[in-house]
Amino acid sequence: MATGWGVEDLDVSEIARTVDEAVRRGRLGEPGTRDPHEMLRGLSLLVDGELSRAAVALFAHPENLPSRFPQCRVRLARFRGTGKTEFIDNRQVHGNAFAVLTAADQFLRTHLPVSGRIVSGLFERDDDPIYPPVALREALANAVCHRDYSIGGGSVGVAIYDDRLEITSSGELHFGLTVDDLYQPHESLPWNPLIADVFFKRGIIETWGRGTLKMAELTQQAGLPRPEFEEGAGALLVRFRPSGYLPPMRVGRDLTERQQNLLRVIASNDSMRLHEIVEALDAPHERRGIQTDLQFLRSLGLVENYGYGRGASWELRDETNGS
């Protein structure tokens, strides 16, 4: 039980939204009232008049959490490059499970680039997210739902790098599950069954035991490598990688779309001469601007050139492609 916590410490409007959505989905009978005690009882979060710890994790007001339940937080970081040396954005958000999911989703929308392509026969771009949004939401929901809340310094972590995205959650796999089991059908044994049940009723998770399989299916359908799962140091990590080179959007300053396209084109080849780059970009009238952009990217340490004159070639720097 959550000793010292009362219904007045919870976000009643979030409880009502959960009940309304659960009823709409046919996953909860209409309670006939929106009294918070009765709604919590219907969600099995109120026992003998006492709040469960799951009720606090799910519905507590954010201002009540830092001092009394500090593990209800998400750490959000966008790193420059492929290591943890320098931040572009770094923040922490304390909140209930739904607030944490919302904060993480907004952070991903802000910092993840899109993959642009020209649609054949249309004079417009088709921009797709680098990673399937549904797969990311599944990973976030799993992290919030299955983490170990008994670890006082625990959290959910979201880290975006130039070449990958990592989501971590405090705690390790339980009930004999291994990382290999996550890639195949396995029995659902949620570590926090009350939270998992509310997530199911709310529609955040659809089927118990299929979350990791769904992530793998969605990424492979998008032409990406399947997610990588790692367990260690008291945490479970899921890592998403793009299908190819992902140029940074910021390196000291915003990179223009042409500069990002330059990096993509060079990354797709071991070495390219200027005329080959111009041809690949289909920009014969932008040769001088492309030269200027290449020199700028070189000054940032993203590309390097070798040779002189017409025979000079351009390559990505090793620090950029992670080799």
Confidence of residue 252 (pLDDT cuts 50, 70, 90): low
What's the pLDDT at 115? 53
What's the pLDDT at 23? 97
Q: What is the mean pLDDT of residues 163-168?
A: 94
pLDDT per position as a tens digit, 224-243: 899 999 998 889 999 999 87
- Does 121 score more than 60 pLDDT? no
Average pLDDT, the chain: 87
Q: What is the mean pLDDT of residues 60-82?
A: 92
3-state DSSP assignment of residue 219 = helix
Q: What is the mean pLDDT of residues 83-87?
A: 90
Which of 10-24, 109-123, 206-220 is modeled with the greatest confidence?
A: 10-24
Q: Computed from CA positions of residues 213, 216, 219, 222, in that sequence, does the dihedral angle turn out positive or negative? A: negative
- Does 24 score more than 90 pLDDT? yes
Sorted by where each starts, the structural domains of the chain and their CATH numbers stand as: 7-60 (no CATH), 73-240 (3.30.565.60), 257-321 (1.10.10.10)
- Does 92 score more than 90 pLDDT? yes
What's the pLDDT at 222? 85
Selected residue with higher pLDDT from 144 and 128: 144
Confidence of residue 250 (pLDDT cuts 50, 70, 90): low
Q: How far is CA 228 from CA 87, 101, 237, 312, in A?
A: 23, 21, 8, 39
Confidence of residue 271 (pLDDT cuts 50, 70, 90): confident
- Does 122 score more than 60 pLDDT? no
What's the pLDDT at 125? 40
What's the pLDDT at 78? 95
Question: How long is the chain?
Answer: 323
Selected residue with higher pLDDT from 297 and 113: 297
Strand order in the sheet with 303-306: 272-273, 313-316, 303-306
Selected residue with higher pLDDT from 59 and 172: 59
Q: What is the mean pLDDT of residues 104-123?
A: 68
- Does 320 score more than 80 pLDDT? no
Q: b/e per residue, 22-51, with b = 16+ CB within 10 A? A: beeeeebeeeeeeebeebbebbebbeeeeb
Cα–Cα distance for residue pair 132/123, rounded to 1 Å = 25
pLDDT per position as a tens digit, 168-201: 999 988 877 888 878 777 667 778 999 999 999 9
**How deeply is 213 buried, as exposed, middle or buried, from its count of CB atoms within 10 A (0-12, 13-18, 19+)?**
middle
Q: What is the mean pLDDT of residues 55-67?
A: 94
| 230 phi and psi angles, rounded to 5 deg | -135, 140
Confidence of residue 116 (pLDDT cuts 50, 70, 90): very low
* Selection from 55, 233, 19, 14 nearest residue 149 by Cα: 55
